[in-house]
Amino acid sequence: MTSGFGVQGSRPYEPAIGLEIHAHLLTKSKIFCGCSAAFGGAPNTHVCPVCLGLPGALPVLNRAAVDDAVRASLALGCTIHDTSIFARKNYFYPDLPKCYQISQYEQPLATGGRLGGVRITRVHMEEDAGKSLHEGFVDSDRKTYVDFNRSGVPLIEIVTEPDLRSAEEAAEFFSRLRATLVWLGVNDGNMEEGSLRCDANVSVRPTGSPTLGTKAEVKNLNSFRFLQKALEHEIARQIDVIAEGGRVVQETRLWDPAAGRTVSMRSKEEAHDYRYFPDPDLPPIVVEAARIAEIRASMPEMPEARRERFVAQHALPQYDAGQLTQSRALADYFEAAVAAGAPPKLAANWIMGELARKLKEQGGEIAHSPVTPERLAGLIALVDAGTLSGSMAKEVFEKMYASNRTAAAIVEAEGLSQIDDESQIAALVANVVATNANAVAQIRAGKTSAFGFLVGQVMKAAKGKANPKRINELLQKALGSGDSSIGNVSRRGH
């Protein structure tokens, strides 16, 4: 049976993948207490009786976390429910001292959205657990420490329908979701620090079958690459099991990046029964329609809308508009440069070209670029006015990036201004024409490539500072039939 896979026109099996994504919300304090929700800090310094789960401590909901969760849900096209309920998810783990996690179960905050064609089942709010840190590899030497700084950091869990049909599609969706949350400002997108985490439910079925196969849950997929690799492996594994006449077992599996495969963590029989019930310490979350309207009104223009506006308003090509809306910071930078007077297409060229190259080279972020949008506009204005040639502008840009000075200040201090004076350039042109008889003769004979050589000679004589447009004009004039010097050279040539 395996011989048919990938060989025939249609594949005998197709995967169905759904994702569960946990995203930290970027609130200052935790979801049920006033402790800092910031990442890092010495272990167990952002803690209090509430997030340590001490007996008698009572949670109080952070409304800023609800606002962020509503904002994310709206961006995903979900329906926000006016009333939702916090529930206790009961299980034991050393990093969960009160033996339950406060989450939402039967009545989540939001349901029924869509992102890029993938249906969003639900968005619910919950608290994060602490973190176990393991040390040592030998049993006698093994230690585990627990850091509760992360305990109580607000999370949203975003659950999709099993609408994804390949590992690549799943990775693309995760990337798009990340970009959306970062754009909204509700999540920092930092997967290494664990502020965005992804689990995947994956099953395979005969292509065209209306029912889904038995699914396995794959955990620990904290990069786009891991997600794609793990799913590729897991899909192939399940197809092999079925092709050999076996059946896929419902279980939780872990991605082992070192071994490049998924391994069984626990079967359905060992799965937790979380015994959810409404948390008696917390009232229902009530989100008024007026508050939803306020949040909706305060939401940033989302990437797709902004891209279309860049095309319509600034007459940018689709490609440029797409590049400039890769992040909100990039799009903001572009619009600030345009607001400071830069022609849009020239600003786009500089941002996607020199600035992007420099930021990549230096590992910098555009929001902290030493060349601000206003200063970039200043540089572009000098090129537009003919003060700087294109190649001089690139040099000046390098200096701006390194020295935190304006283009005008650099031009002034270093006497970099382009030679644009007609009589000065005409003198250089005349000299070059007189001393390059062969090239002039070639041009007269129709070999236009020699023209570029002469331009180069004039530029060399001007030490790179002459306005190339002006050189072109004056050289053409000098070689024209009405000019006596050309006539002389021409006669000599024949």
Residues found near Zn ion in the complex (CB under 5 A): 33, 35, 48, 50-51
By beta-carbon proximity to Zn ion, the closer residue of 99 and 315 is 99
46-68: burial string, b at 16+ Cβ within 10 Å, e else: bbeebbbbeeeeebebbebbbbb
Shortest reach from residue 231's CB to Zn ion, in Å: 37
Closest CA to 78 of 6, 135, 160: 160
By beta-carbon proximity to Zn ion, the closer residue of 149 and 180 is 149
By beta-carbon proximity to Zn ion, the closer residue of 45 and 144 is 45
Shortest reach from residue 204's CB to Zn ion, in Å: 44
Q: Number of helices and strands (H, E) in the chain? A: 17, 16
Distance CA 408, CA 391 (A): 16
Angle in degrees, CA 301, 304, 310, rounded to 5? 80
Shortest reach from residue 115's CB to Zn ion, in Å: 33
Shortest reach from residue 36's CB to Zn ion, in Å: 9
By beta-carbon proximity to Zn ion, the closer residue of 27 and 180 is 27
By beta-carbon proximity to Zn ion, the closer residue of 151 and 406 is 151
| Percentages (nearest 5) of helix, strand, coil residues in the chain | 45, 20, 40
Shortest reach from residue 24's CB to Zn ion, in Å: 15
Shortest reach from residue 52's CB to Zn ion, in Å: 7
According to DSSP, residue 94 is labeled T
**One-character DSSP codes across 145-190:** EEE-TTTT-EEEEEEE-S-B-SHHHHHHHHHHHHHHHHHHTS----
One-letter amino acid for residue 290 of the chain: A
By beta-carbon proximity to Zn ion, the closer residue of 4 and 49 is 49
Can you tell me which residue has the tokens 């939780």?
252
By beta-carbon proximity to Zn ion, the closer residue of 97 and 322 is 97
**Can you read off the two tokens belonging to residue 336?**
């600030």
By beta-carbon proximity to Zn ion, the closer residue of 51 and 200 is 51
Shortest reach from residue 312's CB to Zn ion, in Å: 48
In the three-class reduction of DSSP (H, G, I as helix; E, B as strand; rest coil), residue 447 is classed as: coil
By beta-carbon proximity to Zn ion, the closer residue of 50 and 159 is 50
Shortest reach from residue 196's CB to Zn ion, in Å: 22
Shortest reach from residue 242's CB to Zn ion, in Å: 48
Please report, in angstroms and rounded to a whole number, the separation of the first and last CA atoms in the chain.
82
How distant is the alpha carbon of residue 444 from its chain centre?
A: 55
Helix (H) or strand (E) holding 123: strand 118-127
By beta-carbon proximity to Zn ion, the closer residue of 31 and 382 is 31
Burial of 343 (0-12, 13-18, 19+ CB in 10 A): middle
Q: Is residue 177 within 8 Å of residue 39, measured between CB atoms?
A: no
Can you tell me which residue has the tokens 């064609």?
117
209-221: burial string, b at 16+ Cβ within 10 Å, e else: eeeebbbbbbbbb
Shortest reach from residue 199's CB to Zn ion, in Å: 26
**Can you read off the two tokens belonging to residue 99?**
């033996």
